[in-house]
Chain A
Amino acid sequence: MDVLATRYYYLVTFVVLGLGAYMMIANRNIVKKIIGMNVFQTGIFLFFIAAAYLDGANPPVLTAEPPYVSPLPHVLILTAIVVGVSLTAVALGLVVRIYAEYGTLDAELIREVRHDE
């Protein structure tokens, strides 16, 4: 229990990763698969930000008093958030195109239509 009491953010990370993986596998609607991918990403973000945290520290803004939390993981995650949005935008562009071609967003139906062709 001691391990859990100090590391519960990591446990939340793992649960969120599992939730994202579940959404990507279980949901037949491809838009919901992409939402699942976004959920998975936030799990990774939580891992990094939790790793940068220091009890009782201030944000890494140098007008505040030290100690500070580490700025580097924050920077990496800022970049990752923007890259994640780009990824989502392209994925949703593909979704719109898939709908125009197949008339459905159901992954199983798309597979059947492709099989019949």
Chain B
Amino acid sequence: MSAVEFALIAFVLACGVATAMLRDVLAAIIAFAAYSLGIAVIWILLRAPDVGLTEAAVGAGVTTVLFLLTIAKTVRPAGERTLERIDLPALGVAVVLVGILATTLGALPPVGGAETPVITSEVTQYYLDNAYTETEVKNAVTAVLAGYRGFDTLGEAVVVYAAGVGILVVLQREVFA
């Protein structure tokens, strides 16, 4: 683990814990935005610039705006304490969940190894070998997103549309104002 990775992971986990523990919802939203930004930089380190850009724009940007709009329309409970009390039963459930998941750690392939199933998969190789000749797009992620998995992306657009209609129905409005 390099120093940059260590610092980023520590930052992200600290922001995550702050998000969980801050009692003020506005403070939690700000901590979550910082968390998203940290995660976006981790995507860059893991050589996923497209995901990093989307996370920074959508995770840290649009999601934060949605949360802020919500607390503007509802309440921001005034608390006498800065931090939440730790909920022991919930902490127990979370620790058990992490413990059970951690038992699978030894069975997972090492991150970054040349022999991992994803890297050696023929699907990965096919996309990397043929993306440019078949779609004439140099960015393999774009080629797969809009070309090979175009129907998947169409389905995603349908989900976004359905979400828009769903919000209008829930709020009993006819237009976004």
Taking the complex as formed, is A26 at the interface, i.e. its CB lies under 8 A from any CB of chain B? yes
A35 CB within 8 Å of chain B? yes
Known A-B contacts A35-B19, A69-B46, A93-B167; the reply to A79 vs B93 at CB < 8 A is no
- A105 lies within 8 A of B74 (CB): yes
Taking CB atoms, residues of chain A closer than 8 Å to B91 are: 22, 26
Interface residues of A in 13-38 (CB under 8 A from B): 14-19, 21-23, 25-27, 29, 31-32, 34-36, 38
A60 with B139: CB separation less than 8 A: yes
How many inter-chain contacts with C-beta < 8 Å in the A-B complex?
260
Taking the complex as formed, is A110 at the interface, i.e. its CB lies under 8 A from any CB of chain B?
A: no
Residues of B within 8 A of A16 (CB): 12-13, 16
Whether, in the assembled complex, B97 has its beta carbon less than 8 Å from a beta carbon of chain A, the answer is: yes
Q: Is A107 an interface residue (CB 8 A)?
A: no
From A22, A29, A70, give the contact of B90 (CB < 8 A). A22
Q: Please, how many angstroms separate the alpha-carbon atoms of A42 and B35 in the complex?
A: 10
Q: B38: nearest residue on chain A (CB-CB)?
A: A42
The CA of A58 and the CA of B49, in the complex, are separated in Å by 10
> Is A99's CB under 8 angstroms from B75's CB?
yes
Residues of A within 8 A of B164 (CB): 89
Taking a contact as CB atoms closer than 8 A, the residue among A7, A17, A36, A53 that contacts B46 in the complex is: A53
**Contacts A70-B119, A75-B149, A96-B74; is A26 near B90 (CB within 8 Å)?**
yes
**A113 located at the interface, meaning its Cβ lies under 8 Å from any Cβ of chain B in the complex:** no
Report Cα–Cα, A61/B49, bound state, in Å: 10
Is the beta-carbon distance between B145 and A75 smaller than 8 angstroms?
yes
Given known A-B contacts A18-B97, A62-B138, A79 and B156 have beta carbons under 8 A apart? yes
A22 touching B94 by the CB < 8 A rule? yes
Measured between beta carbons, the chain B residues less than 8 angstroms from A62 are 128, 131-132, 138-140
CA distance A68 to B63 in the complex (A): 30
A71 touches B128 (CB 8 A): yes
Chain B min CB distance to A50 (Å): 5
Taking the closest CB of chain A, its distance from the CB of B2, in whole angstroms, is 11
The answer, among A32, A53, A83, for a CB contact under 8 Å with B111, is: A53
**Which 10 residue pairs are nearest across A and B when measured between Cβ atoms?**
A86-B163, A6-B110, A26-B87, A26-B90, A55-B112, A18-B98, A25-B90, A22-B94, A60-B140, A71-B140
- Chain B positions within 8 Å of A, measured between CB atoms, are 1, 9, 12-13, 16-17, 19-20, 25, 28-29, 32, 35-36, 39, 42-43, 46-51, 54-55, 58-59, 62-63, 66-67, 69-71, 73-75, 77, 84, 86-87, 89-91, 93-95, 97-98, 101-102, 105-106, 108-114, 116, 118-119, 121, 123-124, 127-128, 131-132, 138-141, 143-145, 149, 152-153, 156, 159-160, 162-164, 166-167, 170-171
